């Protein structure tokens, strides 16, 4: 215990030691860097000399593979060793003069910064910048000539659309910020970088639109991200779990998307985005439950169809959560509710099956989850085999062998299909489904509704960065119902969601409905 404390204290001290500055002696600086990067064989230290009469030592340090070597040769090394202003014969230049010349006239890169502390130098090198040392100068140049192999911009598989932009985020932070910037060409779109992870030193970028986003939420996001003290951030899921409001809740309180248009739309509603380097999934907060049902395409298609599809999504969600439990409740407790002809058929098909409906529902639910997991993980060709086996075994054999009643198979099939319609909360859905099946297995409709009240209570008690989770419904905001059960046409979407974008609630003019020109003007 005491040792642990000691280690914690010493770790704190070591992170605080930012003070070490570069010296003017280049050899000493390079030795320090070599010492830090010992046994890291991807580090490259290229030494050369600058100047003609007085040749001073210079070195470039970078990590092989993270740097665009073509640009490095062309814009850094070549000018330094061959530029006429530095190499004309018998020119006597002091170290300082060379430094200034290089900075102002020779180095032909757009992004050139000066750093003075060793800590900064190391972190720049690690994030793919090159660092240039000149002898006799206690300052180093750094330039971001990052160039590594990266995936191109592709359409994300999880959020495919029929109508709408097809580009998705990539693993590179800079590409992602550029994609957002291309959507929102406003100086108010801010990107703030915070480094998280002691070992991984991952760049995490908080993005928001100043003037629209709530400053308190932005500050809270910053605070929560800064307070993460972990060794690694490999995916935005790590951050999600460190900053979410309901850590024990089954519901997600942080949203994510792979598409710039989706994230851009959310930023414009006043949300805050969190881009993590190394993953295409961008988090958005605050996340409301209703966002699970709002798909980007809703806003690109015409309103009637969008509204209809949104209703289908609600219905599918309802089916995916409730259909097994309703079936169990009906067949176990409330047989009188089933229409008589159907009841006779169902009784006939259940004849001879050994298990009660509750057990059937749980067994089938588990089998379905296993099949789904197998289908996701297995390589494509094998996946087909799994689905055939699943369909054969569960659809046909289990029924004809008399293990499971045929109606249950239908119920589980409806549940399975429906649960794919609203993918965002399908994981929460699986837990709710199990809970409700057990409740209704014990107490029928009463148990089912009791479970619903429990879930409702939990959901209304959730908050995501200050916004009530069920926001436009409870507490009710009349003006936000335009984007809840219906999707109003764009000319009617005058205001931003109130719990999120209250800082600048009006997003567009009021009388935008397209109409034919007045007759007077025509005359």
Partner 1 sequence: MLEDGKITCRQIIYLIFLSRIIITFTYLPISDTPPRNQDVWISELLSFPVHMLLVLPVYILSQRFKGCSIIQASEIIFGKIGKIIGAMYTWFFLHMTAIVLRQFGEFLSSVPYPETPIIVFISSITLFAAFALRNGLEVISRVGEIVTPIVIGSIVLVVALVAKDMDLKVLKPVLEGGFIPVLYGGFIVATRTTEILFISMLLPYLNRRKLAKRVILVSFILLTILAPIITISVLATFGVQQTLNRTFPFFSTIRIISVANFLERIDALHLGIWVLGVFVKVAIYYYLTVLGAAQVLNLKDYRSIIIPIGTIIISLSILIADSQLQLREFISYKYSLWYALFFILALPLFMLIVSALRGKGMDLK
b/e map 188-201, b = 16+ CB within 10 Å: ebbbeeebbbeebe
Binds partner 1 (CB under 8 A): choice among 444, 466, 489, 505: 444
What DSSP string describes 14-41? HHH---PBP-S-HHHHHHHHHHHTTT-T
Binds partner 1 (CB under 8 A): choice among 113, 476, 479, 508: 476
- In sequence order, which residues have a C-beta less than 8 Å from that of residue 311 and are 6 or more positions away? 485
Of residues 334 through 353, those in contact with partner 1 by CB under 8 A are 334, 336-337, 339
Segment interacting with partner 1, rule: CB under 8 A, options 113-121, 129-137, 232-240, 472-480: 472-480
Of residues 95 through 114, those in contact with partner 1 by CB under 8 A are none
- In sequence order, which residues have a C-beta less than 8 Å from that of residue 86 and are 6 or more positions away? 50, 51, 52, 80, 93, 98, 101, 102, 106
Segment interacting with partner 1, rule: CB under 8 A, options 91-99, 113-121, 209-217, 456-464: 456-464
Helices marked H in 245-295: 260-268
Binds partner 1 (CB under 8 A): choice among 76, 93, 206, 448: 448
Of residues 396 through 435, those in contact with partner 1 by CB under 8 A are none
Binds partner 1 (CB under 8 A): choice among 475, 479, 481, 502: 475
Give whichever of 296 and 471 is closer to partner 1, judged by the CB atom: 471
| 449 binds partner 1 per the rule CB under 8 A | yes
Residue 294 CB, shortest distance to partner 1, in Å, is 19
| 474 binds partner 1 per the rule CB under 8 A | yes
Give whichever of 144 and 471 is closer to partner 1, judged by the CB atom: 471
| 481 binds partner 1 per the rule CB under 8 A | no
Residue 447 CB, shortest distance to partner 1, in Å, is 8
Residue 467 CB, shortest distance to partner 1, in Å, is 13
Rounded-to-integer distance, Cα 213 and Cα 350, Å: 57
Say if strands 202-209 and 189-196 run parallel, antiparallel, or are unpaired: antiparallel
Residue 361 CB, shortest distance to partner 1, in Å, is 17
DSSP 472: T
Tokens of 498: 């109130």
Give whichever of 90 and 457 is closer to partner 1, judged by the CB atom: 457
Backbone angles phi, psi at 51, to 5 degrees: 105, 170
Q: Which residue has the tokens 């390079």?
A: 30
Residues in the chain: 523
Binds partner 1 (CB under 8 A): choice among 247, 453, 511, 514: 453
Give whichever of 17 and 336 is closer to partner 1, judged by the CB atom: 336
Q: Which residue has the tokens 């240039």?
A: 132
What DSSP string describes 211-238? TTS-HHHHHHHHHHHHT---S---SHHH
Residue 456 CB, shortest distance to partner 1, in Å, is 5
Rounded-to-integer distance, Cα 165 and Cα 172, Å: 19
Binds partner 1 (CB under 8 A): choice among 126, 378, 460, 486: 460
Give whichever of 203 and 483 is closer to partner 1, judged by the CB atom: 483
Binds partner 1 (CB under 8 A): choice among 278, 454, 466, 505: 454
What DSSP string describes 388-428? HHHIIIIIIIHHHTTSS-HHHHHHHHHHHHHHTTSGGGHHH
Residue 347 CB, shortest distance to partner 1, in Å, is 17
From residue 290 to residue 329, what is the string marking binding to partner 1 with x (rule CB under 8 A)? ---------------------------------------x
Check if the beta carbon of residue 306 is closer than 8 Å to that of residue 299: yes
Reference 269, options 511, 502, 19; nearest CA is 502
Give whichever of 444 and 466 is closer to partner 1, judged by the CB atom: 444
> Footprint of partner 1 on this chain (CB under 8 A)?
329-330, 333-334, 336-337, 339, 443-450, 452-454, 456-458, 460-461, 468, 470, 473-476
């Amino acid at each position: 215990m005491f040792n642990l404390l000691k280690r914690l204290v010493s770790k704190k001290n070591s992170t605080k030691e930012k003070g070490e500055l570069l010296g003017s002696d280049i050899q000493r600086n390079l030795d320090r860097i070599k010492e830090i990067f010992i046994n890291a064989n991807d580090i490259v230290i290229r030494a050369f000399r600058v100047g003609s009469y007085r040749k001073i030592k210079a070195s470039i340090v970078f990590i092989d593979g993270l740097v665009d070597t073509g640009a490095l040769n062309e814009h850094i090394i070549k000018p330094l060793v061959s530029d006429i202003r530095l190499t004309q014969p018998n020119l006597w230049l002091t170290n300082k003069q060379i430094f200034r010349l290089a900075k102002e006239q020779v180095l032909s890169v757009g992004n050139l910064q000066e750093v003075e502390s060793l800590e900064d130098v190391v972190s720049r090198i690690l994030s793919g910048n090159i660092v240039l040392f000149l002898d006799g100068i206690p300052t180093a140049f750094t330039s971001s000539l990052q160039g590594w192999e990266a995936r191109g911009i592709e359409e994300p598989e999880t959020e495919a659309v029929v109508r709408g932009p097809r580009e998705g985020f990539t693993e590179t932070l800079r590409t992602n910020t550029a994609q957002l910037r291309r959507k929102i060409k406003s100086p108010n779109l801010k990107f703030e970088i915070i480094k998280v992870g002691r070992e991984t030193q991952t760049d995490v970028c908080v993005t928001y639109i100043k003037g629209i986003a709530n400053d308190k939420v932005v500050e809270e996001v910053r605070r929560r991200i800064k307070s993460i003290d972990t060794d690694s951030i490999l995916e935005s899921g790590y951050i999600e779990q460190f900053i979410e409001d309901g850590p024990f809740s089954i519901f997600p309180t942080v949203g994510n998307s792979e598409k710039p248009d989706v994230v851009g739309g959310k930023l414009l509603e006043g949300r805050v985005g969190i881009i993590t380097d190394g993953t295409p999934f961008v988090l958005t907060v605050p996340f409301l439950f209703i966002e699970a049902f709002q798909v980007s395409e809703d806003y690109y298609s015409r309103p009637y169809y969008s509204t209809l599809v949104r209703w289908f999504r609600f219905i599918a969600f309802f089916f995916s959560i409730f259909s097994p439990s309703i079936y169990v409740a009906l067949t176990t407790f409330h047989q009188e509710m089933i229409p008589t002809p159907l009841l006779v058929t169902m009784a006939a098909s259940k004849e001879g099956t050994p298990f009660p409906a509750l057990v059937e529902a749980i067994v089938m639910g588990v089998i379905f989850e296993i099949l789904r997991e197998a289908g996701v993980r297995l390589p494509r060709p094998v996946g087909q085999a799994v689905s055939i086996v699943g369909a054969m075994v569960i659809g046909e054999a289990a029924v004809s062998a008399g293990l499971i009643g045929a109606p249950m198979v239908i119920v589980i099939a409806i549940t399975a299909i429906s649960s794919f319609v609203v993918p965002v909360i399908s994981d929460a859905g699986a837990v709710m489904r199990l809970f409700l099946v057990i409740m209704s297995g014990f107490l029928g409709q009463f148990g089912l509704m009791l479970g619903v009240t429990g879930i409702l209570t939990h959901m209304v008690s959730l908050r995501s960065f200050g916004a009530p989770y069920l926001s436009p419904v409870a507490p009710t905001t009349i003006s936000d119902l335009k984007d809840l059960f219906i999707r109003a046409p764009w000319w009617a979407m005058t205001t931003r969601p109130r719990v999120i974008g209250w800082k600048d609630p009006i997003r567009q003019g009021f009388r935008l409905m397209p109409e034919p020109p007045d007759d007077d003007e025509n005359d």
